[in-house]
Amino acid sequence: MTPAEIREEIIDILEDISPDEDMENLDDEKSFRDQLELDSMDFLDIVMELRKRHRVQIPEEDYGNLASMNSTVSYLEPKMKDIVKS
């Protein structure tokens, strides 16, 4: 997957988790928690959804890498490079 496809996938997951949030104006530099009303369970749902959809394993010690869209895409890019978007 390309970085743009990974971003699109994260937006899709966030929309499933928080359907009332506006993803149009998401600032890729800012923390998700500063922009969206996500609690720790929602955050875990993101990790679980990535595992379910793409078999991407994210160790708990790496969760901090998923703070913002930019850091999430950067972290996931090498893990998802061989995944073909369906």
CATH of 3-18+33-80, one of 1.10.1200, 3.30.420, 1.10.3470, 3.90.550: 1.10.1200
**What confidence tens digit (pLDDT) does each residue in 35-50 have?**
998 888 998 999 999 9
**What confidence tens digit (pLDDT) does each residue in 10-32 have?**
999 999 998 988 898 899 999 99
Q: Taking the model in full, what pTM does it have?
A: 0.90
- The phi, psi pair for 31, rounded to 5°, reads -60, 140
The structural domains of the chain, with segments of one domain joined by +, span 3-18+33-80
Q: How confident is the model at residue 75 (pLDDT cuts 50, 70, 90)?
A: very high
The overall longest dimension of the chain from CA atoms, in Å, is: 32
